[in-house]
Structure 1
Amino acid sequence: MKHQHGRESAGMIFITRFMNSFLHQASFATGYWYYDRHRSVRLVILVGLAIDQIAQSGLSSLSVIYYSAQLFSCRSNILWISDDFENECAYYISKDSKLSLENSVLALIQSVLQTLNLNEEQCTLMGFSKGGSAALYYGLKFNFKNIIASCPQLHIGSYVSRHWPNVANNMMGNNYDQGDINILDNLIPDLLKKQRNKDQHIYLITSLDDEQYSTEIAPYINDFNEHQNFNFVITKSHLAWQHNKVTRYNLPIILSIVYANGEGVSPVIGKITNGYQSNKINEKVIASQRQKEVLVSELSSISYSDGKIYPKGVSFIRGFTCERYDQIKQTLILFGEDFTYEFPLGKFIQKENNYRYYESEFCDYSAASFTSLGNKGIDITSIAQGSYTLKIKTTAGNVTKSNPLMLKRHYEEYHLIDSSELYFHSSSSGTQIIKRPILDNINNIIFSVESKWVKDSIFHLEGIFAVKNVTLDGWGG
């Protein structure tokens, strides 16, 4: 049987060994991870994680490892359930307009609870995006004590029909109509209105900057408020600027709730706003950063093709805003002992820079990502033979700084450029490009490559190789 981190053929669920957990199989319709804490008296169930992107197939294997590692210090047992029903998402709820999937999912949860001698009072359901929808649905319908839902969709039918047509077909069948959409749309809102478990704690995490907030959350705030232990976290931050950035920003709050639940505590936090409380930025912090004139630079990748290099990375001077292209200028430098070459760089907008390089105070570095102009590559066929160190020169405001460019990983490649060898090397000491002759510099040797091609595992060269004053007038000459 092929092991694929929680993905298995339809009708079979697979529990894979993870850290100290045990391995066994059961007959349910999806896949899951189970992490056994042995003596713990709590269970945390994660459904449908989608943190860095809206992933239709749920959580990737790498994300499973990362987010399970985030929960490593949690004392609760951890059960992660994959939303994979016949190789497509179903929000754990509906397949071909039949809500029978919940029987399998609920049977799995109850089986694990029974194995641990636990009940719904000792269980937390947690999910993000579509997983948040599932956490609300199962938590409200089956009275689980703690529900953590980040950026859920409440109008499930409308959402998948607009944005995920394959998921819509999987959930409602290929010939679904508005009536099928309405059934899914009403599932969670109806439960919100009907269920009033005073011992149930709901933690809803969202942001006004979530593009789904106005349609999926706002219409039901009053219904949520009717629940006695409803807790509402609204994020206002430049670092949580869209749907798939909100959960990541709130991991500290989410983990603190999970840890508390693991100790049998359901914290009451009420309605809170976290992140930036206003648009006012602490200019003293920014001014201090500008004074230091620290150039932050990183080469994320470099490749070569047909005489051109294709560098990508980030470079900015801390404290100097570069929200727009015209606020920053970057130049790639090939610095050699005998020759130095400079090439202007292009830019592209990447808001992720603001989260990744945040330090003490927000400064917008969206335009700090560089690439070749128009992504067309930088022609280096005319550079002289020699060894060159890659540097970047960056200008922001009235400040210009330069730094060596380094890859975080070791990198080494050989290429042919004209009749020379091109050697790329990157380490903790920097990135080098070395252009050198294929043959030693012997005066009586004539060598040049006129054409070349590569196909599969075959490498073909055509050119001239001759020794001066030696007659070559035949094939065996």
Structure 2
Amino acid sequence: MVEQKEVINGVQIKYKYKQRKYDTQHIIFVFCGFGSASMFTYDFENALQDCPAHVVWIKDDFNDCCAYYLCQNMNYSIEQAVITFIESMLARYGLDRSCCTLAGFSKGGTAALYYGLKYHFINIVSTVPQFHIGSFAKREWPLVFKHMADPENENSIFVLDTLLPQLLRDDGSIEKNIYLLTSEADYQYEKEIKPYLDGFRKYRNFNLLMATSQLIREHNQVTSYHVPLLLGIFYSLSQGAVPHYGYCELIADNTLVSRPVKPQPVAILKKIAVMDTLIFPEGIAVLKGVSCGEYQDIEIDLVFKNEGLEEVFRIAKAHRSILTRQLYEEGFVNYDKGWFCTAKFQGLNIHELPAGRYRILLDITCQEHYARKALEVDAGADNKILASSESVDVYSQNGHVYLWKKS
């Protein structure tokens, strides 16, 4: 989808739009959280492509910085532009607030609640929101706080912190369908959400969805783990079928896997770049069934081997909590540190490696278990040149990874 722009009262709104399917009379506005690679993103862009409703993703990008869709220098012209934009889209498609859902995740969840409560929208879907906008932004995203706050007013934190709690306390429009997804495993839960749960109980259809899976151990895992549930809510609301869950503790299998006697190694190259004799490999390196939740749990060596030579290089690890979920089989094992890379992602110099063709392997030592495994690629990357420079070619053949040192 192409990013579009509209200017409302001098404020530029960036957004993407997906047309409805068939005769569906509903529109979903998606407010976005912080991105993983940068502060900007469009959440659920792929997941909602088949949703029958109109979908509008609004980007929290106002003068090159996020603003919680609210303000810059405590001037709320951003908020006024956003609500005007939403109302204009409703009018464009002949819809009213009863045929509309405001949805958001993390920072976007805060915005969905803010606009939903303040401007009397009926359907609100919010996951892991922050209630103390000022304190959170100053602590976690200081550039965002600086962008939002008034540099001449030290009271900005207090004002921003009280916006959402005050709206919740004062809202008298209780005919709302609110779906709040959260988890006690989220470090923000105790301060950002728990103190305000009682304030939601006045709404006729307040739904508290508590995630309990061991695969959820971080803030950004709550939403991604429950994409199917959220899609079910969106699809139901789009068709006019309003779900009523009440308080719902989401069930998960929290079985722990016993450590195997002889764990099987996994060694998969996920990305590779080369620059002259510098190589930048990254991928998965674990022993199945053996936890590597801490950096000291696992050591990884990159091995270049041919008939006459074997060269071994110690490489680094990185935190990738998604691996624990991706590699899940019969029970919970923590694979968070099972991502191999070069130190500080600055590359490994193989200048002194003699010229020749090498098969690449990994030596994996984890919790006193050791295994050697030939480095593999996914099927879609097989039998290809993976990376190339004047000095080095890295390629795959029959599922395995090879390096050709030219000189």
By the TM > 0.5 criterion, same fold? yes
Tell me the matched-pair count.
401
Cα distance, 1:117 vs structure 2: 1.8
Aligned residue for 1:281?
A: 255
Cα distance, 1:147 vs structure 2: 0.3
Distance 1:389 1:202 in 2: 56
1:226-274 Cα offsets, whole Å, 9 max, x none, are 2221111122233222222221122121111101101101211111222
2:289 equivalent to 1:312: no
Aligned residue for 1:34?
A: 17
Cα distance, 1:297 vs structure 2: 1.2
Alignment CA distance shift 1:33-1:324 (3 Å):
closer
2:3 equivalent to 1:5: yes
Cα distance, 1:85 vs structure 2: 2.1
Alignment CA distance shift 1:350-1:114 (3 Å):
closer
Select between 122-131 and 422-431 the one with higher mean Cα deviation.
422-431
- Gap regions ≥5 residues in structure 1: 14-25, 417-421, 438-477
- Secondary structure of 2:13's match? coil
Aligned residue for 2:60?
A: 83
Provide runs of 4+ in structure 1 moved above 6 Å. 373-377
Distance 2:149 2:134 in 1: 8
Distance 1:381 1:102 in 2: 56
1:126 and 1:148 in contact (8 A); partners too: yes
Distance 1:350 1:301 in 2: 14
TM-score w.r.t. the length of structure 1 is 0.74
Cα distance, 1:389 vs structure 2: 1.0
2:352 equivalent to 1:352: no
Q: Bigger radius of gyration, 1 or 2?
A: 1
Distance 1:4 1:36 in 2: 13
Cα distance, 1:144 vs structure 2: 1.2
Amino acid at match of 2:3: H
Cα distance, 1:190 vs structure 2: 1.8
2:357 equivalent to 1:387: yes
Alignment CA distance shift 1:326-1:198 (3 Å):
closer
Select between 220-229 and 301-310 the one with higher mean Cα deviation.
301-310
1:337-357 Cα offsets, whole Å, 9 max, x none, are 333334444434443321332
Select between 240-249 and 146-155 the one with higher mean Cα deviation.
240-249
Distance 1:97 1:122 in 2: 32
Aligned residue for 2:219?
A: 243
Distance 1:400 1:147 in 2: 50
Distance 1:39 1:118 in 2: 12
The one of 177, 189, 202 equivalent to 1:213 is 189
Select between 89-98 and 146-155 the one with higher mean Cα deviation.
89-98
Alignment CA distance shift 1:183-1:302 (3 Å):
closer
Aligned residue for 1:46?
A: 30
2:330 equivalent to 1:332: no
Aligned residue for 2:176?
A: 200
The one of 230, 250, 255 equivalent to 2:206 is 230
Aligned residue for 2:293?
A: 323
Alignment CA distance shift 1:295-1:99 (3 Å):
same
- Give the root-mean-square deviation of aligned CA atoms: 3.1
Distance 1:39 1:254 in 2: 22
- Secondary structure of 2:325's match? helix
1:333 and 1:392 in contact (8 A); partners too: yes
1:127 and 1:133 in contact (8 A); partners too: yes
TM-score w.r.t. the length of structure 2 is 0.86
Cα distance, 1:329 vs structure 2: 4.3
1:51 and 1:244 in contact (8 A); partners too: no
Aligned sequence identity (%): 29
Distance 1:325 1:163 in 2: 24
Instruction: Give the 5 Å matches for 1:112-191.
Output: 112-178=89-155, 180-191=156-167
Alignment CA distance shift 1:137-1:305 (3 Å):
closer
1:121 and 1:145 in contact (8 A); partners too: yes
Cα distance, 1:119 vs structure 2: 0.9
1:368-397 Cα offsets, whole Å, 9 max, x none, are 223457878666455444321112233445
Amino acid at match of 2:307: E
Distance 1:393 1:431 in 2: 15
- Secondary structure of 1:366's match? coil
2:11 and 2:78 in contact (8 A); partners too: no
2:374 equivalent to 1:403: yes
Alignment CA distance shift 1:325-1:185 (3 Å):
closer
Distance 1:84 1:349 in 2: 28
Amino acid at match of 2:137: V
The one of 320, 332, 354 equivalent to 1:362 is 332
- Secondary structure of 1:110's match? helix
Amino acid at match of 2:60: D
- Secondary structure of 1:402's match? strand
Alignment CA distance shift 1:379-1:145 (3 Å):
closer
Distance 1:361 1:217 in 2: 29
- Secondary structure of 1:392's match? strand
Distance 2:309 2:64 in 1: 56
Alignment CA distance shift 1:198-1:401 (3 Å):
same
2:116 and 2:123 in contact (8 A); partners too: yes
Cα distance, 1:404 vs structure 2: 3.2
Q: Larger relative contact order (C-alpha < 8 A, sep ≥ 6)?
A: 2
- Secondary structure of 1:185's match? helix
